[in-house]
Amino acid sequence: MRRLFIAGNWKMNLNRGQSLSLVQSLAESLRGVSEVDIAVCPPAVYLGELGKALHATNIGLGAQNVNSKAEGAYTGEISCSMLKDVGCRYVILGHSERRAIYGETDSMVNEKLHAVLAAGLTPIVCVGETLEQREAGQTQQVVRSQCLGSLAGLTEDQMLKTVLAYEPVWAIGTGKTASPAQAEEVHKDIRSLLEAQFSVGTAQKVIVLYGGSVKADNALELLSEPNIDGALVGGASLKQDSFEGIIKAATSVRK
Ligand code: 13P
């Protein structure tokens, strides 16, 4: 039995006042929700303050990126222990924007993943194909290769502590969501890859999120698919009512 998990990836949006007011409202309105895991991943500069605001609430705090090194001369970078220090529990790794804009490779994601797990944080590792790759019939091959490269060297126990997110690049910020059947097909394939790499038991336990234009009005049908265990939400996580709507949909799903 997997618990549904809804995480908001704010990307580079909202100012300090808006961030604080959003988490305060969410903490208040989501107070009684216990059947779904919830997290927000704001810009790094606000993590400390929001970590305090979210302390002792049911909303976890996550970062959008991290450096794999422990400390040192890495100007502009942030380490896992710094994230832990300010109350982070989750770290998004290998988001398609980081892969496409900042040149992150599977092996860089893999290095970060090992550092995040060693620090006791929960990684959310993103994979997903571009429109060109989908149209060329390469979706399965691309997603499998990103998974194998990003997850290299994990023990079964570490795999169980890792969250995956399937985010088709063509569905991110475009308003084009993968249909529930399209998303389910990839999620199912990720699970069979995990089965082959680890075990049936582990494959059944790993949380695999879907991301790409998830909104309050399409969340229920996506989350009702057997292998979709939650959502990584971009745009719709920036407003209280839309993020709450997605969480409400998740609470109504019985698997
Ligand atoms: P949107 O929900 O805005 O499409 O973004 C999805 C995403 O990239 C989450 O990480």
Q: What is the pLDDT along the chain (255 residues), one digit of tens a residue?
A: 799 999 999 999 999 999 999 999 999 999 999 999 999 999 999 999 999 999 999 999 999 999 999 999 999 999 999 999 999 999 999 999 999 999 999 999 999 999 999 999 999 999 999 999 999 999 999 999 999 999 999 999 999 999 999 999 999 988 888 899 999 999 999 999 999 999 999 999 999 999 999 999 999 999 999 999 999 999 999 999 999 999 999 999 977
| pLDDT value for 1 | 78
Does the active-site annotation cover 221?
A: no
Ligand 1: centre distance to CA 213 (Å): 6
Ligand 1: centre distance to CA 190 (Å): 20
| pLDDT value for 173 | 87
Annotated catalytic residue, options 129, 167, 225, 244: 167
The residues, ordered by sequence, that sit 6+ positions from 91 with a Cβ below 8 Å of its Cβ are 62, 63, 64, 65, 66, 80, 83, 112, 116, 121, 122, 123, 124
CATH class of the domain comprising 4-254: alpha beta
How is residue 38 written in tokens?
A: 């919830």
- Most informative mutation of 125, 213, 217 for ligand 1 (most atoms within 8 A of CB): 213
Global model pTM greater than 0.95: yes
Nearest CA to ligand 1 atom 2: 234
| pLDDT value for 175 | 82
- The neighbour count for residue 55, using CB atoms within 10 Å, is 10
3-state helix, strand, coil in the chain (%, to 5): 45, 15, 40
Does the active-site annotation cover 97?
A: no
Pocket of ligand 1 (CB under 6 A): 9, 95, 167, 172-173, 211-214, 232-236
Cβ atoms of 176 and 197 within 8 Å: the answer is: no
Cβ atoms of 237 and 26 within 8 Å: the answer is: no
Ligand 1: centre distance to CA 9 (Å): 7
| pLDDT value for 176 | 82
